[in-house]
Amino acid sequence: MSEYIIKNGNVFDPVQGIRGDKADVAIKDGKIVDKVGSGAKVIDAKGKTVMAGAVEIHAHIAGPKINMGRIYRPEDKLFTCTPTKGIERMGGGASIPTTFKTGYEYAKMGYTTAMEAAMPPLFSRHVHEEIRDTPIIDEGAYPVFGNNWFVLEYLKNQEIENTAAYCAWLLRVTKGYAIKLVNPGGTEAWAWGLNCLSVNDPVPYFDITPAEIIKGLIEANEYLGLPHSMHIHPNNLGNPGCYETTLDTLRLAEGYKAKNKFGREQVMHLTHSQFHSYGGTNWGDFESKAKEITDYVNKNKNITIDTGNVTLDETTTMTADGPFEHHLTGLNHLKWANIDVEVETGSGVVPYIYSPSISVCAIQWAIGLEIALMMKDPMRCYITTDHPNAGPFTRYPRVIKWLMSAKAREAQINAFKHKDKVLSQTSIGTLDREISLYELAQMTRAGPAKSLGLSGMCGGLKPGMDADIAVYNFNPDKPVANPEDIEKAFTRCAHVFKCGVEVITNGELISNGNKRTLWVNAKVKDNPQVMRDINEKFLKYYSMTQANYEALGHHFVPNPYALEVDATQV
């Protein structure tokens, strides 16, 4: 494999504590190394910013609900098509781009790893087919567990070991990466048109509460010692006053400590916090509770979060929180798709327009930024847009602009129709913090990699790590003349390397790399009872036979990378 040396760039690497020093980064055999031979190809990064490839911790980019969005929203393709160009396949779509375009767009912005945030296990083959067709970036997918009948039944009886054995089995057969919960209990209730809006609402028939599901899955996750923690989209998303449910959810992590060999420290990852930080009693007195949420998370080190920034775009919302999407179509009267999945989960899709002229949308915008600015430890708060829910991932450069420039935020606030309401219902106007490039590297690289248990592999530039590297046309030594320059610089990289292969040069694709599918292979003690239960559920309640369930073979996962976990000695 080729050798490269990226010379004289301003390097930002939280893993090694490098804060913009001029340094060289050497690449050999796909890894970052101390030094390379004189024959190495030289990349001149003088006056540029060098970081590790960015890590996406939560985005909906592959699978049945994303494709439902693509299929039922032809309008999303209007004016967003990209033609075939050399090795680049044609693409289309703004909020739900085609798979090829998804891979290219991430890579061009310097992202090299991304996690699909909600994989319905029954549809794992579909998720993996789309992952296969998303070039360049390494991807993993989180199967959803929070409404799964096995989990509900085991946890009702506090059977942590059986829950863990089942989780390990499901991760293996679906080639999944982590334990994901979406509206625990609520989506099962939605199968009857109901919901669970607090952590204490009993799930119909199953006679268990969301709180018991959440605690049980934290315990199962730590029993197994998985790379990532339990990853949760809590109950009561998106409603005025929901922050109390969020705090109730966060408190369930108290007393738990991470147990794993991957360097992960948290036991709970709260995703798209913005949607869970609302106060007020209705849309009229809707207000930010970002302070209450971040105060709690700042104090409790066993929790990580991502933001879920609203980008003020027309987009397509999609979530395994089926009842929420039904609620949303009732609010905006746009087309509603729903997919309930037997035994396991459900989901819904509704287009949404975050209009800067609507006070609620503007307040949501402010809350997402407040969370990022109020979190004291950037290693525990990651930038996301919950793509495509709060906005498309292609808007990350714009979110970065807002976070790095108080001037850019002020300009946006002044442009809102209901500026006064934004200022009265949030504290965005009082925050003058500007995120530094070092903090940005923590929030988009080192932090999410650590939370995912990948800190030995990506998110940093330490020798021995994968050579995932992004070089931006951004000179940190010069003052920013115009905040727009920040957005521009982070939109298209000067160079991107993925596992040592140069994939992007001057914002253009030059290689499709050699993407991998990341999954977690957790071994547990033989558990005949769980195997019998699985067998029985397939015989009685699934519409597919057990022998046809597993996503096997080259077609689905052509280039797997398994993280091995051994829980047989627990």
Partner 1 sequence: MTKTITDVICPFCGTLCDDVEVVVSDDGKQLLEVYNACVIGTEKFLHSQSKDRVTRPRMHQPDGTWKEISYDEAAEYSAQMLAKAKKPLMFGWSSTNCEAQSVGNEIAEITRACCDNTAATCHGTSLIAIQDIGLPSCTLGEIKNRADRVIFWGCNPAHAHPRHMSRYSIFPRGFFTSKGQMSRKMIVVDPRVTDTAKMADVHLQVEQGMDYELLDALRVAFKGEWLPDVVAGIPKEKIREVADMMKSGRFGIIFFGMGVTQSLGKNHNIDAAIAVTKDLNEYTKFSIMPMRGHYNVTGSGEVFGWQFGFPYAVDLTRGFARYNPGDTSTIDLLVRGEVDAMFTIGSDPGAHFPISAVKQFAHIPSVCVDPHLTPTTGVSKLHVPVAFNGVEVGGNCYRMDNVPIDCRKVVEPPEGMLTDEQFLIKVRDRVRQLKGVA
Amino acid 184 reads P
Contact by Cβ (8 Å): 177, 138: no
Structure tokens at 558: 């052509």
Find the shortest distance in angstroms from Cβ 227 to partner 1.
26
Structure tokens at 36: 């390379």
End-to-end CA distance of the chain: 41
Nearest to 252 by CA among 226, 229, 274: 229
Question: In whole angstroms, what is the distance from residue 104 CA to residue 143 CA?
Answer: 25
Stretch that binds partner 1, among 127-135, 231-239, 303-311, 412-420 (CB under 8 A): 127-135
Contact by Cβ (8 Å): 134, 91: no
Site string for partner 1, 297-326 (x = CB under 8 A): -----------------------------x
Question: What 3-state DSSP class applies to 348?
Answer: strand
Nearer to partner 1, 76 or 466 (CB): 76
Question: What 3-state DSSP class applies to 355?
Answer: coil
Stretch that binds partner 1, among 21-29, 69-77, 389-397, 470-478 (CB under 8 A): 69-77
Contact by Cβ (8 Å): 135, 103: yes
Instruction: Give me the half-sphere count of Cα atoms (radius 13 Å) on the Cβ side of residue 273.
Output: 34
Stretch that binds partner 1, among 47-55, 120-128, 214-222, 449-457 (CB under 8 A): 120-128
167 interacts with partner 1 by CB under 8 A: no
352 interacts with partner 1 by CB under 8 A: no
Structure tokens at 48: 């540029």
Find the shortest distance in angstroms from Cβ 22 to partner 1.
37
341 interacts with partner 1 by CB under 8 A: yes
Structure tokens at 242: 């929901």
Question: In whole angstroms, what is the distance from residue 547 CA to residue 530 CA?
Answer: 16
Please report, as residue ranges, which positions from 70 to 99 form the binding site for partner 1 (by CB under 8 A): 70-74, 76-77, 81-84, 86-87, 89-90, 92-93, 97-99
335 interacts with partner 1 by CB under 8 A: yes
Find the shortest distance in angstroms from Cβ 87 to partner 1.
6
Peptide bond into 388 cis (omega under 30): yes
Stretch that binds partner 1, among 342-350, 375-383, 514-522, 528-536 (CB under 8 A): 342-350
Nearer to partner 1, 353 or 544 (CB): 544
Please report, as residue ranges, which positions from 504 to 533 form the binding site for partner 1 (by CB under 8 A): none
Residues forming a β-bridge with 180: 144, 231
Stretch that binds partner 1, among 1-9, 25-33, 339-347, 442-450 (CB under 8 A): 339-347
Contact by Cβ (8 Å): 378, 439: yes
Find the shortest distance in angstroms from Cβ 27 to partner 1.
24
343 interacts with partner 1 by CB under 8 A: yes
227 interacts with partner 1 by CB under 8 A: no
Nearer to partner 1, 415 or 544 (CB): 544
Find the shortest distance in angstroms from Cβ 4 to partner 1.
23
Question: In whole angstroms, what is the distance from residue 175 CA to residue 557 CA?
Answer: 8
| Phi, psi for residue 349 in degrees, rounded to 5 | -140, 130
Contact residues: partner 1, CB under 8 A: 62, 64, 66-68, 70-74, 76-77, 81-84, 86-87, 89-90, 92-93, 97-100, 122-123, 125-126, 129-130, 133, 149, 190-193, 205, 326, 329, 335-343, 346, 349-350, 540-545, 547-548, 552-553, 555-556
